Amino acid sequence: MNVLIVYYSMYGHIHRMAEAVAEGVREVPGAEAVLRRVPETLSPDVLEKMGAVEPQKAFAHIPVATVDELASADAIIFGTPTRFGNMCGQMRQFLDATGGLWVKGSLVGKAAGVFTSSATQHGGQESTILTFHTFLLHQGMVIVGLPYAFAGQTRIDEITGGSPYGASTIAGGQGERLPSENDLAGARFQGRYVAQIAAKLNG
């Protein structure tokens, strides 16, 4: 069973979450996690000015996703940073190229989930995931969130991401905060949970 993890990461926070999602997927017998980055839309000059060139070298080895790969996956988990309460432009452009899949119904019935990050605690994480769900519904996919069976999202002893809609992390205004162990645990839980649902749907 092929679980595709498609994401965009500028400074590495979503990449680290994607790795944790993949770890969770691999805990399900017979499930293979495949990591893919969506194409970059910003010029090297802009990325340089944003301080993103050096951080992106850490995950430059991850192959760039193609739209056709979505159709061949048994389940898909999307990761995107928050941009003003919505998905980033790179992800939006990638999804806008899936019209051919929509016409053919290629994604109908596939399990799908979303994870995200934001600079602040209330930086639009939930709205980013919920508005992403609209795309999944238009494609006929089966939305899988992060249920309260993951008790880590109810913690109040530390700053943490995670909601019933999906795993998340808080990066900090300067990107100084890395995903915490609780954030990563939520990502692993969601990866495992999506793979488990996909196994049932494909069974």
Question: Per residue of the chain (203 residues), what is the pLDDT tens digit?
Answer: 999 999 999 999 999 999 999 999 999 999 999 999 999 999 999 999 999 999 999 999 999 999 999 999 999 999 999 999 999 999 999 999 999 999 999 999 999 999 999 999 989 999 999 999 999 999 999 999 999 999 999 999 999 999 999 999 999 988 899 999 999 999 999 999 999 999 999 87
pLDDT recorded at residue 174: 85
Coil, strand, or helix at residue 67? helix
Where is 188: in which H helix or E strand? helix 181-202
Domain 2-202 sits in CATH at 3.40.50.360
Task: Give the distance from CA 30 to its chain's centroid.
Answer: 21
**What letter does residue 60 receive in the DSSP assignment?**
T
Which residues carry a binding-site annotation for FMN?
9-14, 82-84, 117-123, 138
pLDDT recorded at residue 47: 93
pLDDT recorded at residue 203: 77
pLDDT recorded at residue 173: 87
Which residues carry a binding-site annotation for NAD(+)?
11
Partners of residue 120 on adjacent β-strands: none
> What count of residues does the chain have?
203
Please report, for the chain, the start and end positions of each structural domain, with discontinuous segments joined by +: 2-202
- Among residues 78, 11, 85, the alpha carbon closest in space to that of 51 is found at 11
Coil, strand, or helix at residue 111? strand
Which residues carry a binding-site annotation?
9-14, 82-84, 102, 117-123, 138
Which residues carry a binding-site annotation for substrate?
102
Partners of residue 64 on adjacent β-strands: 37
CA distance 105 to 81: 27
Where is 186: in which H helix or E strand? helix 181-202
